[in-house]
Amino acid sequence: MDKDNKLAIVTGANSGVGYEVTKGLLKNGFHVVMACRSVDKANHAKKQILAELPLSKLDVMSIDLSDFESIKDFAQEFKAKFQRLDILVNNAGVLLNKPRKNSADIEMQFATNHLGHFLLTSLLIDLMPDSKSSRVVSLSSLAHKKSEIYFDDLNCDSQTKWDAPYAQSKLACLMFADELQRKLALAGKKIISVSAHPGGTDSGLFDHMPPIFMSILRYTFVPIFLHSIENAAKPILKAALDSEVKGGQYFGPTGLLEMKGPPGIAKRTTYSQREDVAARLWTISEELVGASFKVE
């Protein structure tokens, strides 16, 4: 089918990496749905994008990935409007510097970054054509290397490092992508599940940090180690669009400390490749979102 008739969803598309991924997909002829928590911010972003790419097919839909009912409402509305989905980019994420929980009493970063996308994918994957150009792209992070899945403490209540919840959530995203690919392969599906990380970029995640810490990062660390948001989007776009991509691959920048540079295969920890952990995480994720995720 012609790309002009292909449809993609990008969560968190109104700013940062999601904004640039949206533009990249539009430039490749896709119709894109911007799935965002703030409709006002998303409409503002849409206006900016259409000023640059006026012939684009671009829609805004509301979703709060920390709220499982909101995700179900989004999926229902999406299915009422569209009959297919070719690419799902699970991009939206939060990085918090103080403890927060969602309405289900689940740590906010784990709920938003991992569980929300787990549930969203489960509700929409049946719309995806059985083709290797159909992609579920999950965003992980270099932070995954600092974590394990704390099955006895998923809310990270006993963790002492401020970024432990974020690191765990991004490890979960990576392991979810791998487990989804295994289940797709076992079911004989051609749909591809892949993961990617943007490297180092000031994409808005720093906005939740203490102001002094944020300023120090932006004026010292950022210029040396981080790359532009446009370049940060390239590994995600490669994962979504490259015809040579294989299921289960993990992409990121290949330069200094994987913070920036040309996109390519990214490094991952041995722990992140443990199939027993990924399978247990899948089961617990089903329990926490209150829904079964069967790949058939």
Q: Which domains are assigned to the chain?
A: 3-199+230-289 (3.40.50.720)
For residue 80, what are the contacts with CB-CB under 8 A and spacing of at least 6? none
Contact predicate 54/81, CB 8 Å: no
CA 289 vs. chain centroid, Å, equals 17
Would you name the residues annotated as active-site residues? 166
**Quick one: tokens of 159?**
């963790």
More confident residue, 209 or 116: 116
pTM higher than the cut 0.75: yes
**pLDDT class of 1 with cuts at 50, 70, 90:** very low
Nearest to 154 by CA among 105, 90, 103: 105
Find the radius of gyration of the CA atoms of the chain.
18
**pLDDT class of 203 with cuts at 50, 70, 90:** low
What is the distance between the alpha carbons of residues 262 and 255, in angstroms, rounded to a whole number? 7
In the predicted model, is pLDDT for residue 130 greater than 70? Answer: yes
**Mean pLDDT value across residues 178-194:** 98
